[in-house]
Structure 1
Amino acid sequence: MRARDVMSSPVITVTPRTPVHAAAALLVSHGFTAAPVVDTERNLVGIVTEADLVRGRILPEGWVVAQRPEPTVADVMTPAPTAMRPEDDVADVVELMVNGRIRTVPIVDDGELVGVVSRRDVVRCVARRELTSQEVRRRRIGPAGHEGRDR
């Protein structure tokens, strides 16, 4: 099975200039744990996770915080995240996720973001007993013989 068979696409993204609160709201509203960070040409420049967005933001009660400008995604993101290609084997993507303790892997084609594979995407395949590309395509094509994504 290939990454393109299970990846989510199109992808909800943010830019380096997105305010932290807006990125957090986007993740919450879509139920995601991370969002790829892209430039104006949709080239992957980073990834921002829930942990990135909350780290240092919630302080113990009674602490006084100096006024400072709200951080942007560029201030908290992981730059140059590990990415994979659409033709990479999902087994390799899963190995990266498990060994690297990564929840979301960006999928790029010639530097351009084309999708993401999240742990949830892979768990969905396991739950549906879709362990090969053929099984995934059979569900997507369906009995009518035309492609339609069941997400």
Structure 2
Amino acid sequence: MLVREVMTQPALSLPVGATIDEAMRLLVSARISCLPVVDERDRVVGVVSESDVLRDPLEPDPRAHARSSVPPPPRHHQVESVMTRGPFTTHERADVADVAAVFAERGWKSIPVVHDDRLVGVISRSDVVRALSRCDEEIQADVRLRLASDGLPGWRVRVCDAEVTVSGVRSRRDASLAEAVAASVRGVRRVVVLPPEQTAVTTQIGRR
């Protein structure tokens, strides 16, 4: 799977001049935990998360503290004062398997997706999990539909635990085509193509 096939688009974002209050309202209304921050050309210059907006000091509740003459620290007002600058991004044709590995290693919840340095979408852990949660029947139907649309309805398709097995191909060129078509379907984790001699050609998605 490619990032463009599972990402959320268009992406919600904030202009670099937005306020922290605007960021909080959008995070709450969209029920997300992180937002890209873009400049006037839609280039990603930062990301702002729930933890970032909490860096804006809160006024202490006097009921919970002994009286103090120390004034509270000054508030931040603009997103750019608390955002993470120069964030990690990915691109539309990146492999979802590589993005999933980044999520697992870094613990991030989302990554901005760019094309020619401009924001085009966001891929989140939820997007990846949603794609991987598809049932075998849905995957099989999609693979068959895509093969038929490419003029290849005679190939046989079987799906078990998100592993697609394609048989009926007549050449190695056909095998490569079958592999490419099946691997492009959301939720596919592995592709096995059986050529005429029944020697399986196996591809682990994202491990080429």
Q: How does 1:105-124 map to 2 (within 5 A)?
A: 105-124=111-130
Q: How does 1:42-53 map to 2 (within 5 A)?
A: 42-53=42-53
Partner of 1:90: 96
- Partner secondary structure for residue 93 of structure 2: coil
Partner of 1:134: 185
Alpha-carbon distance change, 65 to 15 in structure 1, aligned in 2, over 3 angstroms: farther
Measure the CA separation in 2 of the matches of 1:79 and 1:103.
17
- Contact kept, 8 Å, 2:56 with 2:75, in 1: the verdict is no
Partner of 2:57: 57
| Larger mean Cα displacement after TM superposition, 49-58 or 122-131 | 122-131
Partner of 2:167: none
Question: Which runs of no fewer than 5 residues in structure 2 stay unpaired?
Answer: 140-161, 163-182, 188-208
Corresponding pairs, count: 136
- Contact kept, 8 Å, 2:57 with 2:73, in 1: the verdict is no
Measure the CA separation in 2 of the matches of 1:92 and 1:67.
41
Partner of 2:199: none
Measure the CA separation in 2 of the matches of 1:122 and 1:11.
16
Spell out, residue by residue over 1:114-140, the C-alpha distance to the aligned partner (whole angstroms, 9 max, x if none).
11101111121123246653246xxxx
Partner of 2:147: none
Alpha-carbon distance change, 98 to 65 in structure 1, aligned in 2, over 3 angstroms: farther
Alpha-carbon distance change, 124 to 58 in structure 1, aligned in 2, over 3 angstroms: farther
> Higher strand fraction: Structure 1 or Structure 2?
2
User: Which fold has the larger relative contact order, with Cα–Cα distance below 8 Å and residues 6 or more apart in sequence?
Assistant: 1
Q: How does 1:1-80 map to 2 (within 5 A)?
A: 1-58=1-58, 60-62=60-62, 66=72, 68=74, 70-80=76-86
Report the TM-score, using the length of structure 1 for normalisation: 0.80
Measure the CA separation in 2 of the matches of 1:71 and 1:44.
20
Q: Percent identity?
A: 35
Spell out, residue by residue over 1:62-112, the C-alpha distance to the aligned partner (whole angstroms, 9 max, x if none).
276548464211001000100011000001111111211211101111100
Q: What amino acid is aligned across from residue 121 of structure 2 in structure 1?
A: G
Alpha-carbon distance change, 95 to 135 in structure 1, aligned in 2, over 3 angstroms: closer
Instruction: Report which of the two structures shows the higher radius of gyration computed on alpha carbons.
Output: 2
Report the TM-score, using the length of structure 2 for normalisation: 0.59
